[in-house]
Amino acid sequence: MNLQQYLSEHQQEHLEMACRLMAQKSVSPTGEGMAECAALLRGMMEDAGLRTEVLKTPGHPILFGEMNVGAPFTVLIYGHYDVQPPEPLEAWVSPPFEPTIRNGRIYCRGAGDNKGQLMANLLAVRAFHKTGERLPVNVKFCLEGEEESSSANLAWAVEQYKEKLACDMVYTADGPQHASGRPTVLLGVRGIQYVQVDCEGADRDHHSGNKGGATPNPAWYLMQALARFWGDSPHEVAVPGFYDSVRPVTPLEQALLDRLPWDPVETARGLGLADDHFASTTAAEFYRRTLMRPTLNICGFTSGYGGPGSKTIIPARASAKLDMRLVADQDPLDIYEKFVAHLQAVTADMTEVRFTVTDLGSMAPSRTSPDRPEAQAVVRAVRRAYGEEPVVMPSLGGSLPDYVWTRILGVPSVVVPYANPDEDNHAPNENIALDCFFNGIRCATEVFVELGSIRSPKL
């Protein structure tokens, strides 16, 4: 039987399978239903023709599955079977763990994030298996149970099971499509390095009159120190060496950036800024700053009194929280060391106060070049599956642990979100549109076909 015909005829069965998985609670932050969900999903993976294994981690286990068809190309499919807590319960129209179809959508916690999407990929493999059609690539699945708990053990596990997870690329279906509703391909994420800088003066707040002029003010010193971390613009970081490892934007990446949808007024409104805020900003500049360049950003600055009215004190301490969004090929540790060295340099003569820095966590950046054949194969597959030119984003502005694939496994990584832009992941009434779900299955089959062609003579 033809594969696409099979998919058409088995929509009801596929829908029921997805709903069965969604109905099984699997809240990783509380642990509720995790073991039951892993068992259910493992059975479905076996039914899809995969040889499965449970990979232990210090937290919830990873479900591993493999179908080796002897193809020259192996794709590792990443996904996660855990979901966010459903609270606030009263905000749900139908109960959060009773998959309910209305308005052409499945409403359920985990519908879009990520059960509906990982099922689409699994059902694509299953379709090859059930129809007997030859899968054009070897497939592996790596489905973790801690994505909603910051993927706390993912990097550890990928190191630990490196050989088992060995592959030619990683493919993920997660997140919503571009706001325009157009099919979307994501090729990277920014990393992050989060730091806290503390500055201490006296051991307690002092009266600003009686002690004013004698007691050092940590807010002043911290402000003066931080002010030297930028040039004239907030987009020019002055930490020596900060930009050294920034990978240049390729002409193809630039072409993709230039093609990204851009409405300056709509963007300003979306951010809650004046309509003309981006009047003199080009699309290229906007996307360069938000996707392709690193940032140094003040997340918080706290010192002394912030309540109503006045309080006349010299604060005893001041504290700033900053995050740096990193881009390929910046390394968080290297950047952290450069940050600390710069702080030491600019505060060398500030002996009246004490500075300390705390590393509050990091995640490496990741970017797969659109010039790579794997990326181009996915773009072709998406274009054919949806019959529409996809939005191809060279990077997201945010941070996800994509580096575990590109840095630890050392392979390209491509993300194709299947869910509707209003999937409301992490929110009440999470959902996935039925056509997004079915399109996702077809997209996955096209991706397998295109990836199978990479190392063939056609290339």
Q: Which is nearer to a second copy, 12 or 280 (CB)?
A: 280
> Using CB under 8 A, which of 46, 159, 263, 352 touches a second copy?
352
Cβ burial, residue 67 (10 Å; 0-12/13-18/19+): buried
Closest-CA residue to 412 (of 383, 363, 458, 377)? 377
- Judged by CB under 8 A, does residue 396 bind a second copy? yes
Subset of 266-295 contacting a second copy (CB under 8 A) = 267, 271-273, 277-278, 286, 289-290, 293, 295
Q: Which is nearer to a second copy, 243 or 305 (CB)?
A: 305
Sign of CA pseudo-dihedral 392, 396, 401, 405: positive
Min CB(68)–a second copy separation in Å:
37
3-state secondary structure of 396: coil
Cβ burial, residue 182 (10 Å; 0-12/13-18/19+): middle
Subset of 355-374 contacting a second copy (CB under 8 A) = 360-361
Instruction: Output the 3-class SS for 337-389.
Output: HHHHHHHHHHCCCCCCCEEEEEEEEEECCEECCCCCHHHHHHHHHHHHHHCCC
> Using CB under 8 A, which of 297, 344, 356, 456 touches a second copy?
297
- Judged by CB under 8 A, does residue 180 bind a second copy? no
What are the Cα distances from residue 203, in Å, to 217, 310, 315? Answer: 12, 21, 9
DSSP structure class, residue 11: H
Q: Which is nearer to a second copy, 324 or 441 (CB)?
A: 324
The total number of residues written for the chain in this structure: 459
Subset of 198-217 contacting a second copy (CB under 8 A) = 201-204, 206-217
- Judged by CB under 8 A, does residue 348 bind a second copy? no
Binding-site residue total for a second copy (CB under 8 A)?
Answer: 71
- Judged by CB under 8 A, does residue 431 bind a second copy? no
Quote the longest CA-to-CA distance of the chain: 89
Min CB(209)–a second copy separation in Å:
3
Q: Which is nearer to a second copy, 163 or 203 (CB)?
A: 203
Min CB(443)–a second copy separation in Å:
24
Min CB(91)–a second copy separation in Å:
20
Q: Which is nearer to a second copy, 248 or 306 (CB)?
A: 306
The token duo for 32 is 């509720």
Q: Which is nearer to a second copy, 241 or 361 (CB)?
A: 361
- Judged by CB under 8 A, does residue 399 bind a second copy? yes
Stretch 301-340: interaction string toward a second copy, x if CB under 8 A: xxxxxx--xxxxxxxx-xx-x-x-x---------------
- Judged by CB under 8 A, does residue 261 bind a second copy? no
φ, ψ for residue 321 (rounded to 5)? -110, 130
- Judged by CB under 8 A, does residue 254 bind a second copy? no
- Judged by CB under 8 A, does residue 421 bind a second copy? no
- Judged by CB under 8 A, does residue 166 bind a second copy? no
- Judged by CB under 8 A, does residue 426 bind a second copy? no
Q: Which is nearer to a second copy, 11 or 312 (CB)?
A: 312
Q: Which is nearer to a second copy, 102 or 426 (CB)?
A: 426
Stretch 50-69: interaction string toward a second copy, x if CB under 8 A: --------------------
DSSP structure class, residue 137: S
* Rounded-to-integer distance, Cα 413 and Cα 120, Å: 18
Could you tell me which stretch among 16-24, 190-198, 236-244, 255-263 binds a second copy (CB under 8 A)? 190-198
Q: Which is nearer to a second copy, 22 or 314 (CB)?
A: 314
* Rounded-to-integer distance, Cα 397 and Cα 367, Å: 11
Query: Is-contact 145 31, C-beta < 8 A?
Result: no
Query: Is-contact 397 326, C-beta < 8 A?
Result: no
What are the Cα distances from residue 124, in Å, to 62, 79, 239, 434? Answer: 20, 14, 48, 16
